[in-house]
Amino acid sequence: MSLSQKMEHLNVKPADGKLGIMVVGLGAVSTTFIAGVFSVRKGLAKPVGAMTQYDKIRVGKGEDKKYLSYGEIVPLAKLDDIVFGAWDVYPANAYQAAMYAEVLKEKDINQVRDELEAIVPMKAAFDKNYVKRLDGDNVKDCKTRWEMVEQLRDDIRRFKADNNCQRIVVIWAASTEIYVPVYEPVHGTLASLEQAMKDNDTVHVAPSMCYAYAALAEGVPFIMGAPNTTVDIPAMWEMAEKTRMPISGKDFKTGQTLVKSGFAPIISTRCLGLNGWFSTNILGNRDGLVLDEPANFHTKEVSKLSTLESILQADKHPDLYKDYFHKVCINYYPPRNDNKEGWDNIDIFGWMGYPMQVKINFLCRDSILAAPLLLDLCLLSDLAARAGRFGIQRFLSFFFKSPMHDYANDEVPVNHLFQQYVMLKNAIREMGGYEPDEEID
């Protein structure tokens, strides 16, 4: 049986036609992502770091065991079929934005200059109160949040028609908004959220919520790549159920938190104790500038602090993890631009309580780590929609710092990197018609 025949049997729709990827924010991360895809399509680069392009999963057991790439198990959109669009508060096209970001070398950007120049950002739905450090003028004139939604829906419809796309995915790669606590009277139900949008409640309805609502209303999966509250509220879960669309988030897991979610399992598996974990970063790109504002940093802080809680479980091992101290700092340091650096000091203890230390210094490139993540999330969200999966996509937790979960019913998120990987593999297996045969213990 061919893959297409198998998918038809499983009711997974084929990845026929063009896939439009509409990115909110045409900055360092998104231009690196877009330029990379164009370069790969022209045979000028390799999609290193993209699991959908490299990873192989075991399917079957015993004599039936084999290792297949994602695209051999499930029908993924091809890179040649992707069309890019964007919104941004600055009017610069993707080529100009990539040059400004200074992530990629000029020679690499110039090789796909024509393709990048063709991507001109649409006006953004923007409220300066949510990102005080940004001052662009390529913004929509909206009297209410509901009007924001209507204009964004029109953008999606027009982009889809103009580019002859069969399907669309919207992904947020823009700045971190100020922290919006979950407020039950507005965020508790879809009806109350819609009324708040119509009443122009700018305190409880962030611009990012308008993007998410507009995408879902147009039958489009939405991915939240920043730590914004956005889709992490019951009202949006209800909207995703109503429209039968996938949602995922939040906050791309790229540098320090990737290390944390991979190293913390060493401590827990080895039954070592933790006294404290201090994390600090320096970052100089536009993201660093935005996070230099305390109200915006708090949103990121909440996301980054949540990682250890479900890995080092104090209720199961109070002797080891009851009273550890966890601190996260991000410092804006312009000379480094996109080349951020993370330091982790980990104070652990072992036999008879004797102390030890671990030091990790990760000199990474923010957008280089994030770009393949965007590709994987867009392709897998599109797959999920075609497979009829809707609501919170927990199998995508692997890619996020603060995985979405149903906190209203006391669900505990999975932050353990290798447990997240099992969830990812099992979902791919299941959508491909294979047995999801690994367990999370």
288-340 residue pLDDT tens:
777 778 877 777 677 666 789 889 999 999 999 999 999 999 899 999 888 98
How many Å is the maximal CA-CA distance in the chain? 68
Q: Say if residues 284 and 292 touch (Cβ distance below 8 Å).
A: no
**What are the angstrom distances between the C-alpha of 334 and each of 134, 289, 290, 292?**
15, 8, 12, 11
The arithmetic mean of pLDDT across residues 399-404, rounded, is 95
Q: Is the pLDDT of residue 439 over 80?
A: yes
Mean pLDDT across 376-393: 98
Confidence of residue 11 (pLDDT cuts 50, 70, 90): confident
Residue 374: Cβ-neighbour burial (10 angstroms; 0-12, 13-18, 19+): buried
Whether the bond between 132 and the residue before it is cis, its omega within 30 degrees of 0, is: no
Q: Which residue has the tokens 């392009």?
A: 53
Whether the pLDDT of residue 385 is over 90: the answer is: yes
Calculate mean pLDDT across residues 128-136: 91
- As given in the structure block, the two tokens for residue 184 are 């039950």
Q: Among the listed ranges 69-78, 239-248, 297-306, 330-339, which one has the minimum average pLDDT value?
A: 297-306
Q: Which of 241-245, 254-258, 293-297 has the lowest mean pLDDT?
A: 293-297
Residue that wins the pLDDT comparison between 255 and 400: 400
Weakest-pLDDT range from 16-20, 26-30, 181-185, 291-295: 291-295
More reliable by pLDDT, 223 or 9: 223
Give the residue-averaged pLDDT of 65-75: 97
Q: What is the CATH superfamily name and number for domain 256-363?
A: Dihydrodipicolinate Reductase; domain 2 (3.30.360.10)
Q: Work out the pLDDT band at 26, boundaries 50, 70, 90.
A: very high
Whether the domain at 3-252+368-431 and the domain at 256-363 fall into the same CATH topology? no
Q: Is the pLDDT of residue 3 over 70?
A: no
Kindly list the domain boundaries of the chain, sorted by start residue.
Answer: 3-252+368-431, 256-363
In angstroms, the CA 439 to CA 441 distance is 6
* Contact (Cβ atoms closer than 8 angstroms) between residue 218 and residue 239: no
Has this prediction a pTM greater than 0.85? yes
* pLDDT at residue number 143: 96
Please determine, for residue 242, whether its predicted confidence score (pLDDT) is greater than 90.
yes
How does strand 273-283 pair with strand 341-349? antiparallel
**Mean of the pLDDT values across residues 152-164?**
98
Instruction: Identify the architecture of domain 3-252+368-431 in CATH.
Output: 3-Layer(aba) Sandwich (3.40)
Concatenate the DSSP letters of all residues of 221-237 into one string.
-EEE-SS-STT-SHHHH
In sequence order, the 6+-apart residues with CB closer than 8 A to the CB of 142 are 125, 148, 151
What pLDDT band is residue 5 in, cutting at 50, 70 and 90? Answer: low
Q: Which residue has the higher pLDDT, 285 or 198?
A: 198
Task: From 437, 433, 409, select the one nearest 423 (Cα to Cα).
Answer: 437
Report the mean per-residue pLDDT for the chain: 94
What percentage of the chain carries pLDDT values higher than 90?
86
In the chain, what percentage of residues exceed pLDDT 70?
Answer: 97
Task: Residue 328: name the closest of 318, 343, 314, 349 by CA.
Answer: 343
String of DSSP letters for 384-416: HHHTT--EE-GGGGGGBSS----GGGTPPP---
The whole-number pLDDT of residue 47 equals 98
Judge whether 172 and 295 are in contact, CB under 8 Å.
no
> For residue 9, is pLDDT > 60?
no
Report, as an integer, the average pLDDT of 333-358: 95
